[in-house]
Structure 1
Amino acid sequence: MIELVLERITPADPAAGRAMTEHYAIVETVSGQSVGTIRLRLSDTDDIRLYAGHVGYRVNEAYRGNHYAQQACMLLKARALEHGFSELWITCDPDNWPSRRTCERIGARLVEIIDLPEELDMYQDGERQKCRYLWQLD
């Protein structure tokens, strides 16, 4: 079992194209150990829907294979609903099979794999495509 612990809220920075974001630690309830992070972007821009996604997660390598990302997404769903979301977009690299399986396990649907525009920071960092998953919350 896990719980989400709010670590911080970063404010929106429209000039940099960044949305207000809630950042959570994914914590094992028994051990109290932080096993990863998950964040919820609280905006619904084209860049978020197409490239960044509303939800981003990372599980520390030693804790992978325990479905912590899936559990964290399910816990984050309540927060998203409180913020008025009825759907969330999750993006990942096409070769990130664990993340793709997480999306499938929570019931998100692969809509498409898109090429990233060259002007994006992600492209400059070497990423070329993103899988776009739509997660209907209701």
Structure 2
Amino acid sequence: MDDLPEPPARLTHAEVEIIFSHRTPDNAPEGFVAGYHFVIRDARGREAGHINLRIGSTPHVTFVAGHVGYEILPGRRGHRYAEKACRALAPWAATFPIGLIITTDPDNHASIRTIGNLGARFIDEVDVPPDDPHFLRGSLRKRRYLWLPESTQSA
């Protein structure tokens, strides 16, 4: 984790800013990779959710969790905060020499819409392995998309 570059403290897009919170550790036995956790804030500085950028590729990341993960707080949904947070993250995420995988459950229509708005390309839909933490939380399938953030910073 010490070899990861220092992230920007704050990134913005439209009325959303993402504030670096902490690095996330890797856990090789679980297939987890190190990464970054950012808090998503609206124009008034209120927390709207969080976004993670995972650096590295393991089967867990490329088939289940994705390189980018976000969650918007239930009372804050419907304002395109996830999309705006991804766009805020895009210039910095593009400095890593990898195409980013974003995954979602097939029934998460809001996330599918967000991913589509980013211009990510659908790859496939896969079964989540029974020993994966996502499966244990009830997520049995994942739709996978390839996002090239350097080409999707508009809107």
Same fold (TM over 0.5): yes
Equivalent in the alignment of 2:12: none
Q: Secondary structure at the match of 1:99?
A: helix
- Which residues in structure 2 correspond to 1:13-52 (within 5 Å)? 13-29=27-43, 31-52=44-65
Where does the alignment leave 5 or more consecutive residues of structure 2 unmatched?
Answer: 1-14, 151-155
Aligned Cα RMSD in Å? 1.3
Q: Give the Cα–Cα distance (whole angstroms) in 2 for the partners of residues 120 and 132 of structure 1.
A: 16
Equivalent in the alignment of 2:146: 134
Where does the alignment leave 5 or more consecutive residues of structure 1 unmatched?
Answer: none
Equivalent in the alignment of 2:132: 120
Equivalent in the alignment of 1:64: 77
Q: Give the Cα–Cα distance (whole angstroms) in 2 for the partners of residues 5 and 57 of structure 1.
A: 13
TM-score normalised per structure 2:
0.82
Letter in 1 for 2:103: T
Q: Give the Cα–Cα distance (whole angstroms) in 2 for the partners of residues 120 and 11 of structure 1.
A: 18
Q: Secondary structure at the match of 1:51?
A: helix
TM-score normalised per structure 1:
0.92
Q: Give the Cα–Cα distance (whole angstroms) in 2 for the partners of residues 120 and 10 of structure 1.
A: 18
Moved over 4 A (4+): none
- The number of equivalent residue pairs is 136
CA shift digits 1:63-110 (9 cap, x unpaired): 11111100001111112122333x110001000000000000000122
Equivalent in the alignment of 2:109: 97
